Structures are given as structure tokens and as C-alpha cells.
Amino acid sequence: MSIIATKSNRSNLSVWVALFLLLVGTLGAYQVVGLNQALLFLVGGALGMTLYHASFGFTSSWRVFILERRGRGLRAQMIMLALAVLLFFPALGAGELFGNPVKGNVNPVSMSVMIGAFIFGIGMQLGGGCASGTLYTVGGGSARMIVTLIFFCLGSLIATTHLDWWFNLPHLEPISIVSSLGVIPALIVSFVLFAAIALATVFFETKRHGSLEVEPKAQTKGLKRFLVGPWPLIWGGIILTLLNFATLALAGRPWGVTSALAVWAAKTASFAGVDVASWAYWQQPANAKALANSLWFDITSMMNFGIMLGALLAASLAGKFAPNLNIPKRSLIAAVVGGLLLGYGARLAYGCNIGAYFSGIASGSLHGWLWLIFAFIGNALGVKLRPMFFPGERPQPEKLTGC
């Protein structure tokens, strides 16, 4: 009883801490930057709550499919992407949304994307999460994922020391199917590809198990379920898409995560006396501005902070905020190695599972599809390496998590 009471008290306290920090962040962003930045911070908070309550993990969904051929998580991702292109393509085709200019995450189709996505895929399985998964599990109280996040940042910084070399490898210019084909043909092509992937998961799952996995029944309903979870995966995918669309409307570009992690590491290194500003990557106008300015002005950083606080609030409302510092040595090593691979790979690939995969495909960028293919291959290798670090682990398709 005392252990339960301690956990309950800890969660109750963390609810108020999360609400207080969300309030401070919102007011601070409004005072320092303006209304849009405050709204983007709150969108980040909503993303964190959604990721946590829906347990919308990319890493575990792919691992469960690779090992068990259970495709519920992948099908939820395809529904999410289908709704995303339906919302994004018309706005990107017009070049504006609600009277404001918008642009997508459209980047080169290149060897650096292939190699970076592959490296990132391995890191997903060793680190225990993707970019969004790392943030929301940190907010949810995972001490191990704090290690992953620290080395994620370090890996991002290391990549910026010689990123031009990678970007000069053989590549094609950025290709947008929205610009190349037009909005309607681009939608049709995308829907066909999403359906093909979803049908492939159905084929492999029924071949292995004879039937499709059913969503677990929740013990809570109505408003209580909304507050404490868990949410159905489909809910999670739909809400994430709507929030990404809100990001497009407010920021003029889709949701991203990992560029901020490089900024955090670069600012830390600068504070420690490293002349980061002299590096070619940090002399580019946008990167130099991000390095010089306060984090209050960095949209991605503010949204990332919001994600962690939103996840903290969600975990606390669910009574699950209970950090555990007892991390097995092998798991700790995997967090370090995985974090470095995640950070390094994300910079090479122009983003992560959010910026390159979710927002890239939602933007009609071919590099997003290239990222998906090579990140999945990397995940397959990462799954084979996991037993070295997580002995005795068994996949649990009935409860997808972010790690």
C-alpha cells in the first residue's frame, strides 16, 4: 500500500508541475516571441499527450511487424499518412494556408538520405525509440531514454562537423510529387502506396496468425479515458495529423524534431568553450541564427519542450509517472550507441521519423519514401542486434509502446 501511495503522490505532484511548466512556457513564449510561438508550444504539449496516451511508437510498431508480423501499428501509420496528404497536398499545391505562405519538407533524394536513414533505423532499435518516441518517453519518466536523448544530441552535433561531405555524395535535386504531378495525381499515387503497404501487412499477419490483431479493450471510457488513456492507435494517428497540420498553419512548415537537438548540443558545446560557430554548418544563415538566438525563438525547440511536458502531464494523469534509475548495463550501452546513431543518422537524412518520414511524405517529397525504405532495413538489422543488449526480450504486439 505504501508503494502505491508513493506512486500516487508522485503522480499528483507531477501533474501540477507539468501544468505549471506548460503555463510558464506558454506565457514566456507569448511575451518573448508572440502568439504564434505560444500556440506552437501548446501544439507540442498536445503532441506529447497524444504520443503518450496512444503509445504511438514507430520503433515498436516496426519491431513487432519484423518479429511477429503483427501490422496494427503500421496500418495506423498508413491511415495517419493518408489523412496527412489529404490535408497537406492542397495547401502545398496552393502555396498558402489561411492566407499565409507554407512550404513542405522537400529535400534531395540522395545517398546521404539512404545511409542516414539506415543508421537511424539501427539506432531506433538500440536506443529504444525514434525522435518523437525519445521525447515523449523522457517526458513520461524514462531515465534510460534521458541517456538516449543526451547522446542523440551529441550524435547530431558530431554530424554537423562534416555534413557537407555527406551532402556532396551523389544526389538528385529535391523532388515533390505535388509539384511534378499535380495535387490530384499525387494524392492518387500516395493512396495507392499506402493501401499497398497496409494490404501487405494484412497478408503477412493473416498468413502467420490466421487473423488480424484486435485493439485491446480499455478499462476506462468517455472523458476519463481521454484524460488518463489509453487511446486507440487510430485516434493517435488522426490527432497527430491534425496537430501536424496546425504546425503547418502556424509555422509555415510541417512538424520537425531533430534540428533542435543539434542546436541544444551546439549551444552546450559553445558554452563549454568549443568554437562551434566557426564550423561550416553553423555558418549557414538559418543555423547561425538558431545558434545565436535564445531557444525561445526556435520553433522546433519550443515544440520539443512542449512534447516532453505534454507527455509528463499525460503520464501523471495516468498515474504512471515513476522514474526508475535502475538501468541494466547492457541496456545503458545500447542507449548510448543508439542515441549516437539516431542523432548522426537524422542529420544525414534531412530528418527523422517525423521530419523526413511523416512530414516528408505529407509534403510529397520523394526523400520521405526513400527514408522509409532504408530506415525499415536499418530497423530489421537493429532488431537482430537487440538480443545482445536486451537478453530474454519478447515482443508484445498487444501493447505497442514508444520504445
Q: Is residue 167 part of a domain?
A: yes
Tens digits of residue pLDDT in 193-206: 999 999 999 999 99
Q: Is residue 397 part of a domain?
A: no
Q: CA quadruple 189, 193, 198, 203: dihedral positive or negative?
A: positive
Share of the chain above pLDDT 70, in %: 95
Contact 143, 327 (CB under 8 A): yes
Low-confidence residues of the chain: pLDDT under 70: 1-11, 394-403
Tens digits of residue pLDDT in 318-376: 888 878 888 899 999 999 999 999 999 999 999 999 999 999 999 999 999 999 999 99
Q: Is residue 340 part of a domain?
A: yes
| Number of structural domains found in the chain | 1
Domain that holds residue 188: 2-389
Rg, the chain, Cα only: 20
Residue whose C-alpha cell is 508572440: 34
Q: Is residue 320 part of a domain?
A: yes
- Side chain identity at 161, as an amino acid letter? T
> HSE-up of 311 (CA within 13 Å, CB side)?
25
Residue 297, pLDDT score: 97
Residue 392, pLDDT score: 76
Q: Is residue 212 part of a domain?
A: yes
Task: Please write down the HEC assignment for all residues of 240-306.
Answer: HHHHHHHHHHHHCCCCCCHHHHHHHHHHHHHHCCCCHHHCCHHHCHHHHHHHHCCHHHCHHHHHHHH
* Grid cell digits, residue 151: 547522446
Q: Is residue 127 part of a domain?
A: yes
Cis peptide bond N-terminal to 101, omega within 30:
no
| CA 198/CA 234 separation, integer angstroms | 14
Q: Is residue 255 part of a domain?
A: yes
Q: Is residue 401 part of a domain?
A: no
Residue 56, pLDDT score: 86
